C-alpha cells in the first residue's frame, strides 16, 4: 500500500481507468466527473472495466463537484480535456487542500494549467496507453504502455518519486528529466494517429491499414517530428520506437513502425472522434493546432496538420462529417 491520497479530475477513459486500477494500491482515490449519469454509475453499481479481455466492476468514490470532496490530497491528476480545464480547475484551486497537480491530458496545455494552479505546483506527464469510452460507466483499456512524468525544470524531486510510486502500482511508469521532449513526442503521436482517426471517423487500425490513411498518417507524423527537430528538442521514444521512425521515407524503417503502431494502438478510437460524435468541441486546437502555431513561430509550414485542423473545425461546425474519403485530402495537402 502506497500512502498517498490521490484526487483525479476527469472521469473519462484515462481518469476512470486510472482511478479503478490505482484504488486498491493507495490510501485514497477520489474522482470528479462532470457527467451526472456516468458519475452516478461509477459509484453504484461501479465502473465496468474491460481490460486484457476481461470485464470487471469497480465501485469508485466519484463526485460530480469539487464541493462534495472532503479532505486533503497529495496529488491531483488532471485528466480533463483542454476546453474544460478552466471550469474544472478553478474550483479545486479555490477549495485548497491539494499539494501538487499533475497534467495527464493531450496536447500542449501545460502553460495553461500552470497559470491556473501555479507553475511550482505542477508536474507534467504523458499517458501512452490507449483507452476508449464505450458508454456511460463503461470503459475499455485498449493498450498498455507507460506513464512518463517529469518536472518542468528537468529536476527529480521527492514528490516526483512519490508520484511514480503511486502510478507504478498498476502500470509501467518512468521519470524523465526531459519532459519537454517527451511532451512533443506524445504530440507527434496525437497529431498523427488521433488526428487521422477523427478525420476518418474510424479506429486507429483502419487508419493504418487504409493505403491513403497510412500515407496521411506518415506525412502528418513526419511534419510534427521535423518541427520538433527544428526546435532543437531532444525527442523521446514513443510506443517503444524512435520518434521519427513512422515518418521516415525509408520503407525498411516505416513499415515496422506501422506494424508496431497497429499492434500497440490499433483498437483505440481517438477521444477527439468521440467528442465530435457527441457534438462537443474537440482538443484539435492544442494538438494539430499547436503544431501549426509552433510552426508559425519558427517561420515553417505545417500544411498536413493545418488541413487536419481545418477539417476537424468543419466537423465541429457541422459542415462536414468524418470519412475515410478525406484521408487522400490530408495526404495531398501542400
Q: Could you read off the pLDDT of 297-319 as tens digits, one per residue?
A: 999 999 999 999 999 999 999 99
- DSSP collapsed to 3 states, 224-291: HHHHHHHCCCCCCCECCECCCHHHCCCHHHHHHHHHHHHHHHCCCCCHHHHHHHCCCCCCHHHCHHHH
Predicted model pTM: 0.95
Residues 21-60 as b or e (16 or more Cβ within 10 Å = b): bbbebbeebbbbbbeeebbebbbeebbbbbbeeeeeebeb
pLDDT exceeds cutoff 90 at 215: yes
Give the residue-averaged pLDDT of 62-68. Answer: 95
Residue 122: helix, strand or coil by DSSP? strand
What one-character-per-residue DSSP string does 165-218 give? HHHTTTS-EEE-S-HHHHHHHHHHHIIIIIHHHHHHTS-HHHHHHSHHHHHHHH
DSSP label at residue 152:
T
Phi and psi of 89, rounded to 5°? -90, -30
Q: Mean pLDDT, the chain, as a whole number?
A: 96
State the Cα–Cα distance between residues 246 and 257, nearest whole angstrom.
Answer: 5
The reported pLDDT for the residue numbered 158 is 98
pLDDT band at 334 (very low <50, low <70, confident <90, very high): confident
The reported pLDDT for the residue numbered 34 is 86
The reported pLDDT for the residue numbered 35 is 83
The two most distant CA atoms of the chain are separated, in Å, by 56
CA-closest candidate to residue 105, choices 268, 225, 226, 271: 271
Query: Which domains can be identified in the chain, with CATH numbers?
Result: 2-177 (3.40.50.720), 181-331 (1.10.1040.10)
Q: Do 202 and 324 meet the contact criterion of CB atoms below 8 Å apart?
A: yes
State the Cα–Cα distance between residues 277 and 288, nearest whole angstrom.
Answer: 19
State the Cα–Cα distance between residues 38 and 33, nearest whole angstrom.
Answer: 8
Give the residue-averaged pLDDT of 14-20. Answer: 96
Per-residue pLDDT tens digits for 22-57:
999 999 999 999 888 889 999 999 999 999 889 999
Give the residue-averaged pLDDT of 308-333. Answer: 97
pLDDT exceeds cutoff 90 at 143: no
pLDDT band at 125 (very low <50, low <70, confident <90, very high): very high
Residue 123: helix, strand or coil by DSSP? strand
1 versus 177: the higher-pLDDT residue is 177
Per-residue pLDDT tens digits for 257-302:
999 999 988 888 898 999 999 999 999 999 999 999 999 999 999 9
Give the residue-averaged pLDDT of 176-189. Answer: 98
The packing angle between helices 179-189 and 211-230, to 10°, is: 160
Amino acid at each position: 500500500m502506497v500512502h498517498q491520497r490521490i484526487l483525479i479530475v476527469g472521469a473519462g477513459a484515462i481518469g476512470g481507468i486510472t482511478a479503478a486500477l490505482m484504488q486498491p494500491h493507495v490510501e485514497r482515490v477520489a474522482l470528479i466527473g462532470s457527467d451526472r449519469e456516468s458519475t452516478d454509475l461509477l459509484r453504484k453499481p461501479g465502473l465496468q472495466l474491460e481490460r486484457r479481455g476481461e470485464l470487471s466492476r469497480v465501485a469508485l468514490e466519484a463526485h460530480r463537484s469539487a464541493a462534495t470532496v472532503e479532505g486533503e490530497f497529495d496529488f491531483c491528476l488532471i485528466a480533463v480535456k483542454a476546453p474544460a480545464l478552466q471550469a474544472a480547475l478553478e474550483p479545486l484551486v479555490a477549495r485548497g487542500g491539494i499539494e501538487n497537480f499533475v497534467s495527464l491530458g493531450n496536447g500542449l496545455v501545460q502553460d495553461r494549467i500552470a497559470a491556473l494552479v501555479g507553475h511550482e505546483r505542477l508536474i507534467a506527464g504523458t499517458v501512452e496507453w490507449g483507452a476508449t469510452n464505450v458508454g456511460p460507466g463503461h470503459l475499455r483499456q485498449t493498450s498498455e504502455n507507460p506513464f512518463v512524468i517529469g518536472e518542468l525544470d528537468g529536476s527529480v524531486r521527492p514528490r516526483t518519486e512519490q508520484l511514480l510510486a503511486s502510478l507504478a502500482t498498476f502500470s509501467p511508469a518512468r521519470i524523465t528529466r526531459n519532459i519537454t521532449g517527451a511532451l512533443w513526442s506524445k504530440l507527434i503521436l496525437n497529431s498523427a494517429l488521433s488526428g487521422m482517426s477523427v478525420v476518418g471517423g474510424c479506429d486507429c487500425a483502419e487508419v493504418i491499414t487504409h493505403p491513403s490513411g497510412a500515407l496521411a498518417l506518415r506525412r502528418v507524423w513526419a511534419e510534427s517530428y521535423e518541427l520538433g527537430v527544428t526546435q532543437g528538442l531532444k525527442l523521446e521514444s514513443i510506443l517503444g520506437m524512435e520518434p521519427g521512425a513512422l515518418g521516415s521515407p525509408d520503407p525498411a524503417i516505416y513499415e515496422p513502425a506501422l506494424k508496431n503502431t497497429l499492434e500497440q494502438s490499433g483498437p483505440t478510437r481517438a477521444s477527439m472522434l468521440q467528442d465530435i460524435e457527441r457534438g462537443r468541441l474537440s482538443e484539435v486546437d492544442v494538438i494539430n493546432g499547436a503544431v501549426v502555431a509552433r510552426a508559425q513561430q519558427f517561420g515553417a509550414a505545417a500544411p498536413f496538420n493545418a488541413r487536419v485542423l481545418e477539417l476537424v473545425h468543419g466537423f465541429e461546425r457541422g459542415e462536414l462529417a468524418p470519412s475515410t474519403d478525406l484521408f487522400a485530402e490530408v495526404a495531398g495537402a501542400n
